[in-house]
Structure 1
Amino acid sequence: MKKLLLVLLVVFTASSVFAAGIGIKGGYAKMYDDYADRVDDTWNFGIVFDMGTFLFSNLQFRPGLDYLTLENEDANVEFADVYGIHLDWYWFFMGKKQFSPFLGFGPALNYYNYEDNSSEGDSDAGLEGFAGMDFDLAGPWKLTLELRYLWHDIADRDSTIVKLNAGILYYF
């Protein structure tokens, strides 16, 4: 775990020097399928880097890190803390304007830190699809609203979450 965090810190610190913007986001996470039976809906939050355009002007790369807790309050059990590393591609299909709708997708690496100490942790590859809109605010600020559908583990497609997020980005 320490090696993974060190690598991520180096990669994202080095990459942030070239980032076009940085921001925070968070929102409500609704559990579905197997998750709905075991854990409660929860909140999520994270940090996102806008690395600028890729291949053409309407495609942007925005990697990010996020966190959420899988827990069941009725059973008074905290199942796991989940740390996600996201490699998201945003397609602004109507161009970049005052209001810019987008569609996106991206892989994610989810690290599970179990609270019951029964294991040291686990990681799974996930996949996300999302849609939303960017709103230009005053100066270098942007507001982002998005709806995400994600499979936490692509090998087990019965662990899905829908996130409704809001974020604010600052551009350099």
Structure 2
Amino acid sequence: MMKNLKLKVIPVLCLLTSTLSVAQNSTNQEVRKNFYVKPYAGFIGVQNMDLILTSDNENSNVSVENGFGYTAGISLGYYLTENISTEIGWEYKSNEVTISNDNISSKGDYASNFIYLNGIYNFKTKSRLKPYLGLGASVIQEIDLDFGNGENGSFSNSGNIGFQGIAGLDFNLSPRWALNWEAKYVTFSEFGMENEGDNSRLDNLKYNPVIFNIGVKYRF
């Protein structure tokens, strides 16, 4: 009797173990290949610039000294394979500036909104640390340069396309949650900005921010 019971139990246990193993592998595969959302915030650095101000058909030089800046954004991504993922996101950037023109200085700030699309290669490791590299394209929804007390006007532009390089690191807390650190360099071709109050404009704008972010990643 006992022998017959053992003979019946052993195959059941083997089948159960095999089923659990397949389910676990399937779950891990789903985590790797499914969607993720990543909110983040960080700091931004922008190079100083020498611009050309055109007003009433006269040109003058304007110096822009960039100060402290910050950024915040969110992205939605999808793991195509264990190593390849893609993401689309939105990002807001702002930083303080000092504008100098004809020995007159005034404080102001940049503010910009971006939409971007990235392709990412995730390195496979045996630890919780998961480094990655990526390339992508950015589109400026709107960029504004405001300075003075309002009497000097506000300059803006939109629609410019740029490219970005990315280096990042995930630290897996669980199969679904991870801490994220990321460095990003974004480059745009030179462009101009129109004054929103008159016919003046700024040219020779080279907007190439360097960004350092920290955030969290949730896979679902």
Q: TM-score, normalised by structure 2?
A: 0.59
Counterpart for residue 69 of structure 1: 94
Aligned length: 150
Is it true that 1:142 corresponds to 2:178 in the alignment?
Answer: yes
Counterpart for residue 50 of structure 1: 77
* CA spacing shift, 1:122–1:70, aligned 2, 3 Å: farther
Counterpart for residue 208 of structure 2: 160
**Deviation digits for residues 110-154 of structure 1, max 9, x if unmatched?**
122435665664231111001111111135211111111111x23
CA contact (8 A) 1:58 1:96 kept: no
Question: Structure 2 CA distance, aligned partners of 1:24 and 1:96?
Answer: 26
CA contact (8 A) 2:78 2:86 kept: yes
Is it true that 1:40 corresponds to 2:67 in the alignment?
Answer: yes
CA contact (8 A) 1:127 1:154 kept: no
**Runs of at least 5 residues in structure 2 that lack an aligned partner in the other structure:** 1-33, 51-62, 99-104, 192-204
Q: Which moved more, 1:121-130 or 1:66-75?
A: 66-75
**Runs of at least 5 residues in structure 1 that lack an aligned partner in the other structure:** 1-18
Counterpart for residue 3 of structure 1: none
Question: Structure 2 CA distance, aligned partners of 1:158 and 1:120?
Answer: 14
* CA spacing shift, 1:64–1:113, aligned 2, 3 Å: same
Q: CA deviation at 1:22?
A: 1.1
CA contact (8 A) 1:70 1:82 kept: no
Question: Structure 2 CA distance, aligned partners of 1:129 and 1:98?
Answer: 23
Q: CA deviation at 1:171?
A: 1.3
Question: Structure 2 CA distance, aligned partners of 1:76 and 1:37?
Answer: 10
Superposed CA RMSD in Å reads 2.8
Secondary structure class of the residue paired with 1:159? coil
Aligned amino acid, residue 61 of structure 1: T
Is it true that 1:24 corresponds to 2:39 in the alignment?
Answer: yes
Q: CA deviation at 1:23?
A: 2.0
Radius of gyration: which is bigger? 2
Counterpart for residue 12 of structure 1: none
CA contact (8 A) 2:48 2:66 kept: no
